[in-house]
Amino acid sequence: MSRARRHLRALIATAATLAIVVPLGWLWWASLVPDTYNVMDMGVVDLGGGPDMDHDMHAGQDVSTFTGPDDGDPDVAITVTARKESIELVDGPTVDGYTLNGTSPGPEIRATQGDLVEVTLVNESVPDGTTLHWHGVDVPNAEDGVAGVTQDAVDAGEEHVYRFVVEDVGTYWFHSHQVSHEQVRGGLFGTLVVEPKPPGLFPGGPVVDTVDVVAAVHTYDGRRTVNGKVGESWQQAEPGSVARVRVVNTDNGPMRTWVAGAPYQVVAVDGYDLNEPTDITDTSVLVTAGGRVDVEFTVPMDGSAVRIGAGGGGASLVVGPEGATAPDDDEPEAELDLLSYGEPAPIPFELDFDRSFEYRIGRWPGFLDGRPGLWWTVNGEMFPDIPMYVVAEGDVVRMTIENTSGEVHPMHLHGHHALVLSRNGEDYTGSPWWVDSLNVEDDETYEIAFVADNPGVWMDHCHNLPHVSEGLLAHLMYDGVTTDYVVGGDADNVPE
């Protein structure tokens, strides 16, 4: 080969290498996320086809002004102290984690609809700082507990007071929203039950359950538990009594629950009662990560007990008379479809949408903050180019959630409950099914609708919490609302 030709070949090789390396380098560089940023500067503004507005991201009312009532004596007041310490599982080993008031799960808070709840969070020893997010409770934005969006993380040695009125009955839970993928897995959570006002003396008023118990399911270090106990938990109940069990999935993946030993009804999902649920047997119901399912049944008259399954693996709850035996912990194969369960009922808004958003979840190779990998995408873009869905107060909003990412995602919108309209193009035919956490399997598309009636800046993310730290999140913001809090910053806020 002549010298000139060799020279040409070397030039071509260099050019070819640069043609690969330069764009890659650019992609790498473009993916870098600053240590400190304001979520208002993130992502892709999406008006959902609604009217344009003066969306100046840094003008308007700050999220910190949307608080619960400032004065007035609380009806329920509790101090919750967070610690990093080991947890002694009942009938199980001791594991490293986090506690609230010395235990995990932390306290079960019970309130009555309309109560003013005041929770003082004291961080005694959580080194990264912590917060409490009221999962499924549509609190005013400043009480939402998201580090870097609605407040600063509460450092060890500091405290923070949450005050809000619980307007909706139902089963809820609360958990840290600071380094949440680590703190929630480690046990930094508790449950909140809002009971209906006493039914009063009206004859034929609502049946009051004689047994009402929470079953908070959590996996500590590979061991599935119900209310912090490995294996079988026990709740005494007389034959003939009506029992409501509030199953809360605090894990990162979906699980099934079921009732064995008596027919049962699914009476509520994500805190909202279903309309005219019917008796089912030999059927399980899916509880998505972060979701809640309330089941109700009558304890058999023959003296036997009933078992509430928690995904198999030995953890379950038995309800019945002392010493009674319950059926085995076998998971029924049939699964309830909430799209067609119960009976339709009027819904409180017209399906006439002011805005329609898409939340299309995929997965692509690329760089996330400089790290190469296969990362989640939302509407074809990777974090930090995630949607900022913009609404005006009062809008009726439709959101289409599509998942083609190869994995299930439990999608959780803060501050609102959404009505499930359809799945894969099939409209719902059963009870109105309201969710704050929705299990979206691979190759599924859901349409949901909600009313924008709670101004603020709200996270809308996957509740498989490691997925959030891998970029699977978006925000919903209201026109005229802004936040001065920053992710990172002096408080080292890390909401994921």
Of 135, 256, 467, 475, the residue at the interface with ligand C2O (CB under 6 A) is 135
Identify residues 182-221 at the interface with ligand C2O (CB under 6 A).
none
Judged by CB, which is closer to Cu ion: 122, or 438?
A: 438
Q: Does 177 bind ligand C2O (CB under 6 A)?
A: yes
Judged by CB, which is closer to Cu ion: 285, or 472?
A: 472
Of 293, 299, 462, 486, the residue at the interface with Cu ion (CB under 5 A) is 462
Smallest distance from the beta carbon of 28 to ligand C2O, in angstroms?
A: 29
CA 111 to chain centre: 21
Partner in contact with 409, chosen from Cu ion, ligand C2O, none, beta carbon below 5 to 8 Å by kind? Cu ion
Of 104, 464, 483, 493, the residue at the interface with Cu ion (CB under 5 A) is 464
Site track for ligand C2O across 458-477, x = CB under 6 A: -x-x-x--------------
Site track for Cu ion across 128-167, x = CB under 5 A: ----------------------------------------
Of 163, 412, 423, 475, the residue at the interface with ligand C2O (CB under 6 A) is 412
Of 160, 175, 416, 475, the residue at the interface with ligand C2O (CB under 6 A) is 175
Q: Does 180 bind Cu ion (CB under 5 A)?
A: no
Identify residues 285-324 at the interface with ligand C2O (CB under 6 A).
290
Of 467, 471, 475, 495, the residue at the interface with Cu ion (CB under 5 A) is 467
Judged by CB, which is closer to Cu ion: 238, or 407?
A: 407
Partner in contact with 416, chosen from ligand C2O, Cu ion, none, beta carbon below 5 to 8 Å by kind? none
Smallest distance from the beta carbon of 463 to Cu ion, in angstroms?
A: 7
Smallest distance from the beta carbon of 119 to Cu ion, in angstroms?
A: 28
Partner in contact with 462, chosen from ligand C2O, Cu ion, none, beta carbon below 5 to 8 Å by kind? Cu ion
Identify residues 355-414 at the interface with Cu ion (CB under 5 A).
409
Smallest distance from the beta carbon of 135 to ligand C2O, in angstroms?
A: 4
Q: How many residues bind ligand C2O (CB under 6 A)?
A: 10
Three-class SS string for the chain?
Answer: CCHHHHHHHHHHHHHHHHHHHHHHHHHHHHHCCCCCECHHHCCEEECCCCCCCCCCCCCCEEHHHCCCCCCCCCCEEEEEEEEEEEEECECCCEEEEEEECCECCCCEEEEECCCEEEEEEEECCCCCCECCEEECCCCCHHHCCCECCCECCECCCCEEEEEEECCCCEEEEEECCCCHHHHCCCCCEEEEEEECCCCCCCCCCCCCCCEEEEEEEEEECCEEEECCEECEEEEECCCCCEEEEEEEECCCCCEEEEEECCCEEEEEECCEECCCCCCECCEEEEECCCCEEEEEEECCCCCCCEEEEECCCCCEEEEECCCCCCCCCCCCCEECCCCCCCCCCCCCCCCCCCEEEEEEEEEEEEEECCEEEEEEEECCECCCCCEEEEECCCCEEEEEEEECCCCCEEEEECCCCEEEEEECCEECCCCCCEECEEEECCCEEEEEEEECCCCCEEEEEECCHHHHHCCCEEEEEECCEECCCCEECCCCECCC
Judged by CB, which is closer to ligand C2O: 147, or 318?
A: 147
Which residues bind to ligand C2O, rule: CB under 6 A? 133, 135, 175, 177, 290, 412, 414, 459, 461, 463
Which residues bind to Cu ion, rule: CB under 5 A? 409, 462, 464, 467, 472
